[in-house]
Amino acid sequence: MDGFERWASGEVRLIAPDLLLAEFASLIAKRNRRKEISAEQAQAAFRLMAKCAPRLFDTRPQLPRALDLSLQYQLSLGDCVYLALALEHDCPVLTADRRLFPSWEGQTPFRAPGSMRDLGCRGDEDSRSNLPERRIV
């Protein structure tokens, strides 16, 4: 079963800081300013993302640890919010940013998963069901 199928089946649950929605809104607004998508397409994309987003966690509690990580490893605060959430939930980080993990290798306790099949993390009970939750940031 590939990563998407594992997520779609509920075997793997994705989590992210609520910062994700602001980052996504910024991305689609920029694409609209560049005339790559219409305002209607941007609105539709945001509605879909809001509906299908991973389980979102408040960014504020992550900020102190994210700042520590940012200062220690010289990474952006935004990236470190995701890392702080992953550390809090003992989960691997999934990113499409190929530039990000090479900069971390050998400098941080984080590793880039080779693929969704490689991802594993501590499971616990999802508050919404009896399925074990395998969370990935």
Q: What ranges do the domains of the chain cover?
A: 58-137
Report the predicted TM-score, pTM, of the whole model to 2 decimal places: 0.73
Give residue 135's identity as a one-letter amino acid code: R
Separation CA 88–CA 82 (nearest Å): 10
Give residue 103's identity as a one-letter amino acid code: S
Who has greater pLDDT, 45 or 95? 45
Mean pLDDT over residues 107-126, rounded? 44
Separation CA 25–CA 19 (nearest Å): 10
Q: Residue 45 — pLDDT band, cuts 50, 70, 90?
A: very high
pLDDT surpasses 70 at 59: yes
Comparing CA positions, the residue from 52, 133, 23 lying closest to residue 89 is: 133
What is the residue-averaged pLDDT of the chain?
78
Q: Residue 118 — pLDDT band, cuts 50, 70, 90?
A: very low
Output the six-digit token pair for 41.
């397409």
Who has greater pLDDT, 55 or 113? 55
pLDDT surpasses 60 at 93: yes
Query: Among the residues of 34-88, which ranges form H helices?
Result: 39-52, 63-73, 77-88
